[in-house]
Amino acid sequence: MHGEPTLFDMAEFEREAVAAMPWEGVPLRYVTEYHHPDDLVAAFERWKGENGSFGCLMRSHMWHRAYFGRQDVAASDEAHELHMLNADTRCDIPEHDHTVDPLPGGLMYQANCPPCHWHVITEHENEAVETWHDHAMPGWRALPILPTKLSTADEKKARAVAAKWCAENYPAEWQRPGAPVITRRDPHGGRHVGGRSPFGGYDLAAPND
């Protein structure tokens, strides 16, 4: 028994082969300048090709799509798209030298609008979503808040009730694809939820007052 390559050797060989290929895309690290989401994802895939997938979110600190399995786009009209991305910039790997590329050190959220080459990066998911709405649908903050009495655990029913209420109470120009609704939540339900408004836009949690 000698010279038989193990599975590990093969994986290592493949990673080295990927690393040997030239790369001219997005730098393979945490970046803050604007890039198209597809280019960010391509860079993350390249990093995994070179370094393997194990612990890749924390080892690479690179941007990746926030939701797997569905295209994370809420277009208000033809002009804007929302792509949500995450990056884990926490680092407890001693051999990483972050004097060259300092990291913010938290879970970072990016809202990205490819048609405008616009993006925002924050430490708070809700803030990223809200800032995109400021960008794509200014004026949304003045929309009426859905009355709490309309809320029900039955999602299908809730959607129908919200649609009816919006038809009666929303300004005409806000009754269009991608428009958000604002709803009051209990203290633990403060996350904005994409695709849950009657118009296919966000269900935004009203600020607590």
Cα(119)–Cα(112) distance, rounded to whole angstroms? Answer: 4
Here's the x/- map for Zn ion, 30-69, by CB under 5 A: it reads as ----------------------------------------
| Tokens found for residue 171 | 């300004």
Q: Name the one range near Zn ion by CB under 5 A: 32-40, 80-88, 119-127, 172-180.
A: 80-88
Q: Give the one residue of 58, 116, 145, 160 binding Zn ion; rule: CB under 5 A.
A: 116
Q: How far is CA 18 from CA 8, 40, 48, 58, 64, in A?
A: 15, 17, 10, 20, 20
Q: Give the one residue of 111, 113, 121, 137 binding Zn ion; rule: CB under 5 A.
A: 113
Cα(161)–Cα(181) distance, rounded to whole angstroms? Answer: 12
| Tokens found for residue 65 | 């799509």
Q: Name the one range near Zn ion by CB under 5 A: 64-72, 82-90, 114-122, 155-163.
A: 114-122
Residue 192 binding Zn ion, by CB under 5 A: no
Cα(64)–Cα(46) distance, rounded to whole angstroms? Answer: 12
Least distance (Å) between residue 146 CB and Zn ion:
26
Residue 80 binding Zn ion, by CB under 5 A: yes
The position carrying tokens 């970046």 is 31
Residue 128 binding Zn ion, by CB under 5 A: no
- # of chain residues touching Zn ion (CB under 5 A): 4
Three-class DSSP category at 118: strand
Q: Interface residues with Zn ion (CB under 5 A)?
A: 80, 113, 116, 118
